[in-house]
Structure 1
């Protein structure tokens, strides 16, 4: 059966790319999101995958760019639908939020086809997502330094919680944030529609982070094999899971001296970072409020009073 997404159309055993039109630019020209359809040679499940919901989060697009050329429809059972760049306007200007309506795209799902720019894009991509059995919404930690992780955002009482947790484990980054997300996230809305959906957060970078991209590509292929799109077996390795975050800001202006590396364990009362003057004179010492793992840090060393420095994943276990 022919499968289409926007102008992309593929018969079984074919791949095609095209555009999913969602509106017009300020000069009245139509614009569309780059999309791909990979229609497997044999029937099976449908996976929907998207990237660059936030316009400066590029690692997910890097995953798509490397993964698609390696996918041969002759080897695939089922269908893969892909939106390569969701936040079209923000991507053009390398910004996080859609500059047309100053909105964070991943707070607008399920969208509104007659609403704002972001709501219309969300509605169009949500329509594609609801055609799938599984959804991967590829993100990264903006431009902060962050562990490669997968976020399960539906909450522990959700009827699809176990399925989402299994999908996160199949992706296999090694780290999982298991914390109910804000309203309007695709990883919140997808499970409400009966579709296991997770949010891989692939590191953080200005531009590409090749190590995180490689881990993301491996995660996509893990999912494809585990859910029988591709032949091959996948061992579900134990994942380190955090169930919460504690964020730390600076009590003073100056330069940050981190005492821990990403992924290091921290214990309550242990020094996480110090603030110094430009001459190395100590100004403040910040200790951990709880046991956990250093999960995310700012990239630049200079901070103002109250500015974000790092996050510690708390209530840590493995599953």
Structure 2
């Protein structure tokens, strides 16, 4: 028997429930939506979570489409799922938890007696470190971004190769292999011996079917490769970046991007131009390094110093 919150499943069963993590402002309890898929045969445990940032919905779409396809009678091992981590932010379609103005993916490993976000992080972290592998599904917020997977433990970490292999198996086509900020699940869980990756499934307002399907494919790649499901998955070479350069605008105006997402750019190549509202040029911004055009703001208007785009650098094939 496997239990996660109120979800309980015997071998060969699937169940959904709630993981209680606190009370709302009117004093009523609330819980995160969770699921257990307990395979008929023994095996490893995979933990999957989505929406630790409340406006990043593609991961929720992946779970919505994946869970109905999982037959516990065909599964070896166990899958634990938290469908929405940042409960309060999800309710109001915001990025940060509005109760404590915290970005959830900076709160791990959490604190069960701490702030709202720290309590949620602690509860989900306990599930994560009980697993053998962790998929923390994200997207590039509401910006435009390629589908990629982030390895956040750092190249000197003892689990770096295991995390990198998991990212390759997920198979989005691109990997950002760069140590992440403190408080990320993909930083904290490897410290407890659990390979963890952070798939960033595109970037959009709402959700994007192509990115969701790429995430569903990635989950099944992992399930086949690590023996949860019968069948074999052959990994494909991935484009890896170990550097990440961000560009802001030196002036205010309207942005005109020159490359498309995923395009290779050369050092000195124009990334974007800024014009005034009448179309007269104000600035031309070029790449400091060669790399891949990785991420771009969605809205065309920009203020002085505001974020515009990012380039993945130090490119190789892994």
- What is the TM-score normalised by the length of structure 2? 0.99
Q: Which residue of 2 aligns with 1:35?
A: 34
Structure 2: gaps of 5 or more residues = none
Distance (whole Å) between structure 2 residues aligned to residue 20 and residue 209 of structure 1: 28
Displacement of 1:222 in angstroms is 0.2
Q: Which residue of 2 aligns with 1:241?
A: 240
Displacement of 1:244 in angstroms is 1.2
Q: Deviations over 1:24-62 (max 9, x none)?
A: 000000000000000001000000000000000000000
Q: Which residue of 2 aligns with 1:133?
A: 132
Structure 1: gaps of 5 or more residues = none
Partner SS for 2:224: helix
Structure 2 counterparts to residues 163-242 of structure 1, below 5 A: 163-242=162-241
Distance (whole Å) between structure 2 residues aligned to residue 75 and residue 162 of structure 1: 29
Structure 2 counterparts to residues 76-95 of structure 1, below 5 A: 76-95=75-94
Distance (whole Å) between structure 2 residues aligned to residue 161 and residue 111 of structure 1: 22
Partner SS for 1:238: coil
Distance (whole Å) between structure 2 residues aligned to residue 168 and residue 9 of structure 1: 29
Q: Deviations over 1:141-189 (max 9, x none)?
A: 0000001000000001111000000000000000000000001100001
Structure 1 runs, 4 residues or longer, greater than 3 Å off? none
- What is the TM-score normalised by the length of structure 1? 0.99
Q: Which residue of 2 aligns with 1:47?
A: 46
Distance (whole Å) between structure 2 residues aligned to residue 114 and residue 157 of structure 1: 32
Distance (whole Å) between structure 2 residues aligned to residue 148 and residue 240 of structure 1: 11
Q: Which residue of 2 aligns with 1:113?
A: 112
Displacement of 1:280 in angstroms is 1.4
Q: Which residue of 2 aligns with 1:306?
A: 305
Distance (whole Å) between structure 2 residues aligned to residue 108 and residue 117 of structure 1: 10
Q: Which residue of 1 aligns with 2:159?
A: 160
Distance (whole Å) between structure 2 residues aligned to residue 236 and residue 59 of structure 1: 23
